[in-house]
Amino acid sequence: MAAPTPIKCDLAVVGGGLAGGLIALAVARQRPELKIVLVEQEQHFGGNHIWSFFASDIAPEHRWLTAPLVTYGWSGYDVHFPAHSRSLDNIYYTIESERLDWLLRHNLPASSLLAGRTVKAVSPRLVVLDGAQRINAGGVIDARGVADYHHLDCGWQKFTGQLMQLSEPHDLTRPIVMDATVEQYDGYRFVYVLPFGMDKVFVEDTYYSDKPDLDRRVMAQRIAAYADGKGWQVERVLREETGVLPVVMGGDLENYWASGSGRTAKAGARGAFLHPVTSYSLPDAVRNAIYISELPDYDGDRLNMLMRQRAQEHWKSGNFYRILNRMLFRASEPSERYKILERFYRLKPGLIERFYAGQSTSGDKARILSGKPPVPIGKALQAIRARKKKR
């Protein structure tokens, strides 16, 4: 049987999640004369996800990329801790994966979208798919998600979230980004709540834990108990998602990069483009998509060099945040971790905004570390000086 005719394109993006999808949308708009191919293993682009971000996470000149994706928005948000609650006015947005899938299908030709295809191999200019189908590209970007996290020193953020249809309207007008008044289990635990319309609410049970083990059944029970405590009568669960994300404390970026398709350019978690503390990928996904869309050409080797440089710069800029992670995971008892966030949320709104955007100033960093730490001083100093533990 003859091999399929190779597909030729200027840029092949492997992985149709958030990072890959944003690259495809940005390049399609900025460089409409080019042929793009986006490959995704599942039948739908974006997977089963709800992504949220603050308005201040995205530069004003980049908001053209995120604006069409937004499905919900609020003028502010709340946080709750045992010692205090606070309302902040930073605008908060949510994107649903279904919207990303819809936009890709309406902005790119069908010939550019390869869903339900398994990737067998990638290199800087070649993608091999199931059935011996080849994509010959000027350049390839691998955005398929995580590489080998054994090269990184990680704690874990794990969660289960449910979108609930309620029998009666709730009384929420804005999100609760952290409700840490709940009982603490398995590290720092908080509940995250998004009000979708009058009678729908998304509730996520989240943990900053030492281990990546996730018991979906137990977390679902705790979500149900939280809803019951709020007096919400749940008619049915409309969707559910689970995840385990790395909270990086250190490691070997070069070996991590090489573990995810070697010399091929990478984006998203594949290239370690995550906020070290929050594990959010959207702000960096937007920045990378805009950057790639403005490049003059997509030569595979040059793409790899440029994206590797960006990953190195991102890693260097994350040094301070990784120190905070070590303080969170190694200087505090698991049941006391919430006190670090409780203290953090007493700081000025601008500092909090820059922190989430991964753009903390030197003054912000000094302020975060100043004063008496909410952890033992000796352990805090050890955590600051610590290097990657051997596994």
One DSSP character per residue, 278-299 reads: T---HHHHHHHHHHHHT-S---
Chain segment 114-152, per-residue pLDDT in tens = 999 999 999 999 999 999 999 999 999 999 999 999 999
Do 180 and 37 share a structural domain? no
Structural domain of 227: 153-247
Residue 391 has pLDDT above 60, yes or no: no
Does residue 391 lie in a domain region? no
**pLDDT at position 384:** 63
Task: Give the whole-angstrom CA distance, residue 190 versus residue 208.
Answer: 9
Chain segment 162-186, per-residue pLDDT in tens = 999 999 999 999 999 999 999 999 9
**pLDDT at position 332:** 87
Overall number of domains in the chain: 3
Chain segment 29-76, per-residue pLDDT in tens = 999 999 999 999 999 999 999 999 999 999 999 999 999 999 999 999
Q: Which amino acid is at 75?
A: S
Task: Give the whole-angstrom CA distance, residue 158 versus residue 137.
Answer: 36
Q: Which amino acid is at 243?
A: G
Do 214 and 189 share a structural domain? yes
Residue 252 has pLDDT above 60, yes or no: yes
The CATH number given to whatever domain includes residue 242 is 3.30.70.1990
Residue 341 has pLDDT above 90, yes or no: yes
Residue whose C-alpha is closest to residue 175's, from 200, 157, 191, 192: 192
Task: Give the whole-angstrom CA distance, residue 14 versus residue 29.
Answer: 19
The CATH number given to whatever domain includes residue 24 is 3.50.50.60
Do 230 and 160 share a structural domain? yes
Q: What is the DSSP letter of 346?
A: T
Q: What is the Cα 33 distance to its own chain's centre?
A: 30
Cα angle, residue 160 at apex, residues 157 and 163 outer, rounded to 5°: 135
Domain edge (last residue) among 247, 276, 308: 247
Q: For 37, phi and psi rounded to 5 degrees? A: -125, 130
Question: Looking at the whole model, is its pTM more than 0.85?
Answer: yes
Task: Give the whole-angstrom CA distance, residue 109 versus residue 117.
Answer: 17
